[in-house]
Every structure is written in C-alpha cells, then in structure tokens.
Amino acid sequence: MNTKVTIQNLKCSGCKNSIIKHIKKVNGISNIKIDIESSEVAFEYATESAHIELRKALSALGYPITGDPNTIMDKAKSYVQCAIGRLQ
C-alpha cells in the first residue's frame, strides 16, 4: 500500500540521507521518497507491521510523525543524524 506521513525536525538533505539509509532496512518498506520542503515521507508498505516499524524507526532517529511528541532528545537526535547524513 502507498502512503505518506509528515515528520518533524526534517531540515536538509543530510537528514534525508540518514532517514533513507535507516528506513531502507525496515522489512516490507519500499519506494521511499522524501520531500524536504513539505517534510513528507512517501513509501509503500507490505504489511501493517512494516508501517508501524517505519514509524518507530523515524521516531528513533529523531524524526517523529507530526502530532507525536517531539522532545528535546528527538531534536538532538535529528541534528546528529543530519550531520551523519551530510558526511555520506
């Protein structure tokens, strides 16, 4: 199934690179597209559990779904992932 989610803390292509690298590892997720300007992540998922795992992975990286809590720790994690993504 195709869907898209809007995430928090997405700032640049470094963030995008980190997100793609990590969520490619989630089984059942494919065709990942990220729009930095709208903070949208579009993807296909094979099962509902894959969709849930993707949401967990985004949150663990510091990019929670819009509407979910966005703590100082999430913001800090997103800056670290941003820096790592810029080096890739």
Look up the CATH number of the domain holding residue 29.
3.30.70.100
Residue 52 has pLDDT above 90, yes or no: yes
Q: What was the pLDDT predicted at 88?
A: 78
Tell me the C-alpha to C-alpha distance, in Å, between residue 29 and each of 9, 43, 77.
21, 7, 22
Domain containing 24 equals 2-87
Mean pLDDT of 51-68: 97
Q: How many domains does the chain have?
A: 1
Helix (H, G, I), strand (E, B) or coil at 45: strand
Predicted model pTM: 0.92
Instruction: For the sheet with 29-35, list strands across it.
Output: 2-6, 40-45, 29-35
Helix (H, G, I), strand (E, B) or coil at 33: strand
